[in-house]
Structure 1
């Protein structure tokens, strides 16, 4: 989920918490519909479970309501482009692309364009770790010091604490020197050890297990644990043990700044000057296990279900994953690399230029995916949250995706 350090007001200082919990109150949608690209709704076959995602369109009445809500949200947020997918078993599907993928050329957004998915990456890193739990290679209550040396208070911080965001480790992405280093050279490649060193300069913020605090440091450490226990790169583990079994052919963990086409350009004001920049080819190594991956609308549709239902995990481990705890943010609880927001299970993601929601509602077996090509805040809040509320207010009014500011 996406939280930026809101105590800092400059664009640079509030930058780069790469998908922690959104701490934004939601505002009523208003204004005339934004001009949109012609909708594209064809969905390619992805596997034998497509019967759970009906291909026929939602009713014209419901589709019209969604069109209006989405366009109003786009106008309110001044979004360049947006992809939306909604799948409601028994009612149909809604797949649309709106606006532009490239503001310079005017290229229209389409529903097959890839984006950088930010902290939805955490769901893959957590799954890789939990597969090791299933294999008996690690245990949730092992101290991280058993696997990685030099972690402040690492003998008392467990893998479970890291997964739950309750380690007390300072988030490296909130360190001022890190922010300056990244924004001075967005093409720079960082190592996991370099990232962690920025956080280790600071004292831990709380005792392990006592307080929820979103920290990318937690997931960089989990990535290192996966690598140590498999003897392989995290990229290879995710590719062979998650992406292939889940048939996510359009998803990848990049080595550097590569970005397969077709992709949407991303726009951010997380720059040293505060001016809007095209961040499409910024190197996401600074987010690594916490936020570096790339995907598309149709892959995330399938991943949302696999993630929420535990397709790749044992029932016992999935049960552990879904034990969510309070976050201090009204309506939101967090488990082992997964959230529950008013019944919606999944994660959100944000990094400079991109945001997304990957959501599954077990009660109705419904799926909502939203992909944005900007992360520019709206009145201090994440634009993906406003889009999520607009969509779910129409399709699941008893389960509205909404996040309120932390107390």
Structure 2
């Protein structure tokens, strides 16, 4: 679930940014920025713990939002958004949200099911040609990661190509061609394994049945109804300003570079969207409750119930429904891509919403940076239900293997286990 993960920018200046080596190890800002109306003692504990975690993991910038229904909120930003200028991290900056994108794409599929344009247990071959075993893989199995289709972001040649030119534009069909060169990992429905290939297919399904491109469909049918004015699926590498710069070591030689303007087209329906802390705060209750802010339905009650029925993944404390994860009771999704890590989830039993934004994926010895911050926050705020993702449940859902300079090829990702 290392992207339960996904990438991004304007194409100009991207080439020069790729070659600029940056120092991520900036000391966090002296005082965090943002609004707090929880009790001062808890706020101070959170401030101190997040600052300590950032120092331990050498994280440049973090934004955290924690909201309790009627019981206060905590919105803070720490550190720097741009290490070159020292610009501080702020809660209103745009960011790339990686695999949180999947929650939007699958919502589109479920809306089409509500309209009778598809059935979740239909085979994908009924709608899309060329899928190996597509007569036996259902739409539901694509959405809940049980199709068995190879995850194209684990193809070593593709990893090398992406690392060599992270500004390159990829089409969905090119990504599927990479995936389909590999045999299925297992018969459909027999186990769970995270694969971006599944969600790319679902994006194409939305386009075919709606007659709209995915970006337009999501804007008109999901983003605007929910009131997400600052969330979008970009056509290319664009990201609105002001944005948090993202730092990654997914570069030749493992140098830390600014990935803000890298092209996320390789993630598309699985991981290319941009958003803000505030928009993700608005999205999570709609995602987990199936309702729009005006009280009307985003999805039918029965469809929402199916979405939320998380099945075991084979990892303790981790379940997965239809484009949505259940992590120790926190329901939502995380996302990672070069330069950015995100958590957007709700703890229904406490009426809590958590959003974490980190502008680095340089995990080093601490593991996932967003998981580190999520654990740090929830161990204080919801100690009986900490955000906890087992290391074995974090498959390499986006590239994280540096290309050895002697071969020019990417080293294979570590086996994800399942």
- 1:247 alignment counterpart: 227
- 1:7 alignment counterpart: none
Q: Partners in 1 of 2:56 and 2:315 — Cα distance?
A: 24
The reply to whether residue 199 of structure 1 matches residue 192 of structure 2 is no
Q: Secondary structure at the match of 1:379?
A: coil
Residues 355-376 of structure 1, C-alpha deviations (whole Å, 9 max, x = no match):
0100111112111111000011
Residues 364-401 of structure 1, C-alpha deviations (whole Å, 9 max, x = no match):
21111110000112327211111110000011111111
Aligned residue runs from structure 1 range 7-406, under 5 A:
18=6, 35-36=28-29, 38-42=31-35, 57-311=37-291, 312-379=298-365, 381-406=367-392
- Contact kept, 8 Å, 1:59 with 1:91, in 2: the verdict is no
Q: Partners in 1 of 2:155 and 2:197 — Cα distance?
A: 11
The reply to whether residue 2 of structure 1 matches residue 2 of structure 2 is yes
- 1:26 alignment counterpart: none
Which of 186-195 and 324-333 deviates more?
A: 324-333
Q: Secondary structure at the match of 2:254?
A: coil
Deviation of 1:286 (Å)? 0.4
Flag structure 2 segments of 5+ consecutive residues without an equivalent: 8-26, 292-297, 393-416
Q: Partners in 1 of 2:44 and 2:29 — Cα distance?
A: 13
Residues 40-59 of structure 1, C-alpha deviations (whole Å, 9 max, x = no match):
335xxxxxxxxxxxxx6000
Residues 193-227 of structure 1, C-alpha deviations (whole Å, 9 max, x = no match):
00011111110000001111110000000000000
Q: Secondary structure at the match of 1:327?
A: strand
Q: Secondary structure at the match of 1:194?
A: helix
Q: Partners in 1 of 2:312 and 2:197 — Cα distance?
A: 20
- Contact kept, 8 Å, 1:39 with 1:95, in 2: the verdict is no
TM-score calculated relative to the size of structure 1: 0.88
Q: Secondary structure at the match of 2:326?
A: strand
Which of 264-273 and 332-341 deviates more?
A: 264-273
Which of 181-190 and 216-225 deviates more?
A: 181-190
Q: Partners in 2 of 1:226 and 1:144 — Cα distance?
A: 12
Q: Partners in 2 of 1:189 and 1:380 — Cα distance?
A: 32
Q: Partners in 2 of 1:380 and 1:78 — Cα distance?
A: 10
Q: Partners in 2 of 1:151 and 1:76 — Cα distance?
A: 45
Q: Secondary structure at the match of 1:313?
A: coil
- Contact kept, 8 Å, 1:36 with 1:71, in 2: the verdict is no
- Contact kept, 8 Å, 1:37 with 1:108, in 2: the verdict is no
Q: How many residues align?
A: 369
- Contact kept, 8 Å, 1:118 with 1:291, in 2: the verdict is yes
Which of 289-298 and 305-314 deviates more?
A: 305-314
Deviation of 1:272 (Å)? 2.9
Deviation of 1:39 (Å)? 3.1
Deviation of 1:180 (Å)? 1.4
Q: Partners in 2 of 1:331 and 1:291 — Cα distance?
A: 24
RMSD (CA atoms): 1.6
CA gap 1:86/1:111 in 2 versus in 1, 3 angstroms: same
- Contact kept, 8 Å, 2:32 with 2:79, in 1: the verdict is no
Residues 288-328 of structure 1, C-alpha deviations (whole Å, 9 max, x = no match):
00000000000000101111111111110000001111112
Q: Partners in 1 of 2:302 and 2:183 — Cα distance?
A: 35
- Contact kept, 8 Å, 2:333 with 2:345, in 1: the verdict is yes
Q: Partners in 2 of 1:39 and 1:338 — Cα distance?
A: 31
TM-score calculated relative to the size of structure 2: 0.86
Q: Secondary structure at the match of 1:363?
A: helix
- Contact kept, 8 Å, 1:170 with 1:199, in 2: the verdict is yes
Q: Partners in 1 of 2:364 and 2:305 — Cα distance?
A: 36
